[in-house]
Structure 1
Amino acid sequence: MYYREVRHPGPAEIQLIDYASRIAGIAIERDRSQTALTRAVKQIEKSEAQLRHIVDAIPQMIAVLNPDGAVLYMNQTMLDYTGLTVEEVMAKDVRDRAFNPEDVARFRGERLEALSRGVPFQNEKRVLRKDGHYRWFLIHYNPLLDDQGRVIRWYATGTDIDDRVQAEERTRNENLVLREQIDRDSMFEDIIGTSEALSKVLRQVRRVALSDSTVLILGETGTGKELIARAIHKRSSRAEQAFIGVNCAAIPPSLISSELFGHEKGAFTGATKRRLGRFESANGGTIFLDEVGDLPSEAQIALLRVLQEREIERVGSSKSISIDVRVLAATHRDLNAIVAEGKFRQDLLYRLNIVPIEMPSLRERTADIPLLVKYFIDRFGKKAGKKYRTIDKRTLKLLQAYSWPGNVRELQNVIERSVILSDGDTFSVDETWLKREPPQIVRPTIALNGALHKQEKEMIEAALAASHGQIAGPSGAAIRLGLPTRTLDSKIKRLGINKFRFKP
C-alpha cells in the first residue's frame, strides 16, 4: 500500500486493508442509499403533486385534517367556494371562518367525540360562500388508519344539500297551509247575503282588491272577516300565489315571532332545524293576520318593519330578507282603545289602517238570515244524509229576532246542531238554544237608544268614570252599558266626550 518495493503484506497490513475496504463499502452504500432516497422523495413529491392536482380537479369540496381535526389542506374547489387563501386555511380559526359559527358551536362536542372514536361520521353545516351567503352542506368524515389502527389523517368531503333543505322546508310549510285549509273548510265557503250592509262591503272589496294596499278588516267575532280577506286576495293580481292565514290570538306569545318570521336552527331550545316563517311562505302572495290586536309588542315592532321596509329577520339571525307580501289584517277589538291603553303601537295602527273595511254584524243584516239558513241547511243536510222540504216559519222568525252575539258563526253552529238532532222533513230549531241577553245588560242599551243626547252623554260619562276611563275589557264601560266596544267608541267621538280625563 505504501512501501516502495514489492513485498508480501503481513497480518497487520491485511487487517488495515480489511478495515479500509469496509469503510469504502460503507461510504459507497451510503451514497447509493442517499441517491435512492432522493429519488424516492422526488417520486413521492411528484406523486403527491399529481394526487393534489387530481383532488383539486374534483368538483366536490375536500379537506384533509390531522387526527385532532385541525385543517391541513383544502382542495381548490373549497378554496374557490369560500374565497379562503392557503395561509388562511392553516390558521386556527379557519373553521369559524368557513362554517356558520352557530353550527360550529352546536357540533363542537359531538365532533370531538366522533373524532376520538376513529370511525366514519357525518353532520350538516352551513358553509360560507365568498359572496357572504351560507348554503347547507352534508359533511362526511372518513379516517385513514395506520397498521396499528391509529388515525393518521381525516378526509372530509362536502355535498351541497341546500336545495334539498329548502325543498323540505317548503314542503313542511305547504303541508301546514294544507292542514289549515282543511280546517277552514269546516267554515262557510261563500259570502251569502243581499242586504245593503253586506253589499256595501262587497263594493269596497272590489275596489280595494285592485290595489296592493294594506287592508284592516274590522268587525265582531264570527262576522266572516277571513272570507272578506280571501275575496280580496282572489280578485287581486296575486290570486295565483299563496294565501297564508295566521290567527295571532291562537299562537303563544313566545312563539309568534318564530311563527311569523321563521327561525334559524339552534335559535332557541327545540329549534332543531331552520324554519321558514309565514311571511316567507306567503312571498309573492297575501298574508292574513287575524286578531292582529293580540300581537305582543315584540312582534308589533317586527310587523311595523315589514310594512315599512318590506324586510324580515328570522329569529336567531341578523340577516335581512326582502319579501313581497300583501298584508291583510283583521280584529274584533277596538284598536284605538288598546292604543290608548298602551297595548298597541299607534304607528303600527296607522300602517295597518290604510284601507279599513267594517264588517256588519248579523244584527245589522237580518234580511240575509233566510238565505244563510237555507245555505247551511243544504250543506249540513247533505253531510248528514237528510233532506228538508220546508223551514218552520216560527223558527225563521225566531232566528231573525235573535241578536246573534256570535254572528254568522253562531248561526252556523245552531243549524248544524239542529240538523244532527232533528227528525222529519221540516227544519226547526229548539228556541232554548238561543240564549237571551240578561235584562241588566239589555236595559242600558234600550235606554241609550231612546234617550236624548244629554242623557246619553251623562250615562256614558258615568260608565267611563266607574271604569276609570277604560272602554274595553271585562270591567270596561262597554260592558257596563251593554254596548259593543266599537259602538261605544263611535258614540264617545260623536258626543265629544274626552275619555282620557276619566283615567286615574
Structure 2
Amino acid sequence: MARILLIEDEAAIRRVLVKILTEESDNYSVEEAEDGLEGIEKIKQEDFDLVLCDIKMPKMDGVEVLEALKKIKPEIPIVMISGHGDLDTAVNTMKLGAFDYISKPPDLNRLLNTVRNALDRKELVQENTRLKKKVSKNYQMIGESDAIKRIKELIEKVAPTDARVLITGPNGTGKELVAHWLHQKSERSKGPMIEVNCAAIPSELIESELFGHVKGAFTSANKDRAGKFEAANGGTIFLDEIGDMSLSAQAKVLRALQENKISRVGSDKDIKIDVRVIAATNKDLRKEIEDKKFREDLYHRLAVILIEVPPLNERKEDIPLLVDYFSDKISQEHGTNKKEFTEGALNVLKDYDWRGNIRELRNVVERLIILGGKEVTEDDVKLFASKF
C-alpha cells in the first residue's frame, strides 16, 4: 500500500484531497499534517511513498518543507499544492526538486495522474537502486596482491574519463569485472552498459547485432531493428572477445569510433551516437595484426588505455580472499550456512595450477561446499578438488 503524507493547513482542502485519493484506490493510505513542522516530524519518524504539500502555510512554508525533505529523505517525491497567487513559486519549486504541482481547487484527473506518476517514479528509482546494488555485489574486485592494487588504481584514474580501454588477459581472469568497474565508476554509470560477446555471434550476424538493420536488409530482416551501439547511447558498450570480430565489422567499428556515428545494415542514413567503448580479448592482438586478422588502426583506437589482467597463478596470495568471498556468495545462493576453509585447505588450493583462473577456482569452491564437511579441510580438497 502506498503511504501518502498530506501537509495542508486548510482542513476543507485536506478533506477533499483525502476523499479523492482514498476513493480512487484501496492502495492509498493518507496521513495528514496541519503544517510544515508537523509534516517534517512525521517524515522523520515514518516512511512515506509520496508527500503532497501546500506552499502557503504558517510556521513552515512549503518551500522550506521541500528543502528539508531533500536533506532528510531525498528519495521521496513531493508534489506542491499551489493557490492562484503561488503559481510562480510552484514552478520554482520544481527547480528545487519538486516532482510537480497541482492548483487549488484540485482538478480530479490532474491530481490522480500526478499522484500515480509520482508513485511510479519512486518505484522506478527504487528498482534502479536495487539493480545497481545487485550489479555492484556481482562485480566486486577481490584481492590485495600488487597486480590487483595496480588495476584498481588505474581504474580510479581512467573511469571518470571517456578514454577507450582495451582489457587483455587469459580466459577466466575477470576482464568482464574490470569493464563493469570502469562503467560503474564513470560519469556514464546512470546510462546503460551493453555487453556484446563477439565470439558468440556468427560472423554473418555480427554487423546486424552491433549496428542494427532495416527491414529487407537480408532474408530474415522482417522489421527495422536497433543495434547494440544505439542501445548503449549515453552509456558504455563492452565488446568482449573483440579479437574474434570479422574484418568487415572491425571496419564499421572503426568508423563509429572516428565519427561517432553508425548506419544500420541496409541503410545509408547516419545515426549519431554517444558511446564509450571498452573492449577485451584473450588474444595477442599484435600477432593478430601481423597475421592480417585484426586492423592495426582499430587496435590503436581501442588501446588508448591498456589494462592487463594477470592469471590467477600470478596472484596466488589472493586465493584465501577469493575463497572466502566465493564461499559466502555460493552459500547464500544454496541457502546454506557459510563454510569455513581450514588453513591447510587454503594452502593446498594455493599449490594448484589454476589454468582456468578465477572461473575454475569458483567452480572448485562450489564443489567443496557441496561435497565437503562442516568445514572444508585439506583432505576434502585433495579428495574432491584434485581432478580438474
Give the TM-score normalised by structure 1.
Answer: 0.48
Specify the alignment match of 2:16 in structure 1: none
- SS of equivalent to 2:315: helix
**For each residue in 1:135-159, what CA deviation from the matched residue of structure 2 results, as whole angstroms up to 9, or x when unmatched?**
xxxxxxxxxxxxxxxxxxxxxxxxx
Specify the alignment match of 1:266 in structure 2: 216
2:151 paired with 1:201? yes
Specify the alignment match of 1:220 in structure 2: 170
How much does 1:365 deviate?
1.2
Give aligned-pair identity as a percent: 49
For residues 272 and 148 of structure 2, what CA distance do their matches in structure 1 show?
A: 37
How much does 1:295 deviate?
0.2
Q: 1:319 aligns with which of 254, 269, 275?
A: 269
How much does 1:433 deviate?
3.5
How much does 1:390 deviate?
3.2
Specify the alignment match of 1:342 in structure 2: 292
Please identify runs of 4+ aligned residues in structure 1 that moved more than 3 A. Answer: 425-428, 430-436
For residues 329 and 382 of structure 2, what CA distance do their matches in structure 1 show?
A: 19
Larger radius of gyration: 1
- SS of equivalent to 1:391: coil
Q: 1:290 aligns with which of 216, 234, 240?
A: 240
For residues 328 and 397 of structure 1, what CA distance do their matches in structure 2 show?
A: 36
For residues 422 and 435 of structure 1, what CA distance do their matches in structure 2 show?
A: 15
For residues 319 and 307 of structure 1, what CA distance do their matches in structure 2 show?
A: 17
**For each residue in 1:126-184, what CA deviation from the matched residue of structure 2 results, as whole angstroms up to 9, or x when unmatched?**
xxxxxxxxxxxxxxxxxxxxxxxxxxxxxxxxxxxxxxxxxxxxxxxxxxxx9xx9xx9
How much does 1:384 deviate?
2.1
- SS of equivalent to 1:250: coil
- SS of equivalent to 1:266: coil
Number of corresponding residues: 255
How much does 1:419 deviate?
1.8
Compared with structure 1, are the counterparts of its residues 380 and 357 closer, same or farther at alpha carbon in structure 2 (3 Å cutoff)? same
For residues 257 and 408 of structure 1, what CA distance do their matches in structure 2 show?
A: 31
- The answer as to whether partners of 1:233 and 1:243 remain within 8 angstroms in 2 is yes
2:381 paired with 1:429? yes
Specify the alignment match of 2:347 in structure 1: 397
- The answer as to whether partners of 1:283 and 1:324 remain within 8 angstroms in 2 is yes
Q: 2:256 aligns with which of 301, 306, 310?
A: 306
- The answer as to whether partners of 1:415 and 1:429 remain within 8 angstroms in 2 is no
For residues 192 and 180 of structure 2, what CA distance do their matches in structure 1 show?
A: 11
Unaligned runs of 5+ in 2: 1-127
Q: 2:198 aligns with which of 240, 248, 252?
A: 248
Compared with structure 1, are the counterparts of its residues 415 and 244 closer, same or farther at alpha carbon in structure 2 (3 Å cutoff)? same
For residues 204 and 397 of structure 1, what CA distance do their matches in structure 2 show?
A: 30
For residues 228 and 301 of structure 1, what CA distance do their matches in structure 2 show?
A: 26
- The answer as to whether partners of 1:264 and 1:271 remain within 8 angstroms in 2 is yes
- The answer as to whether partners of 1:193 and 1:372 remain within 8 angstroms in 2 is yes
**For each residue in 1:24-47, what CA deviation from the matched residue of structure 2 results, as whole angstroms up to 9, or x when unmatched?**
xxxxxxxxxxxxxxxxxxxxxxxx
Unaligned runs of 5+ in 1: 1-177, 437-504
Specify the alignment match of 1:333 in structure 2: 283
Bigger relative CO (Cα 8 Å, ≥ 6 apart) = 2
Q: Kindly report which structure 2 residues correspond to 1:5-404, keeping only aligned pairs within 5 A, or say none.
A: 188-388=138-338, 390-404=340-354
Give the TM-score normalised by structure 2.
Answer: 0.62
How much does 1:389 deviate?
5.3
Compared with structure 1, are the counterparts of its residues 417 and 188 closer, same or farther at alpha carbon in structure 2 (3 Å cutoff)? farther
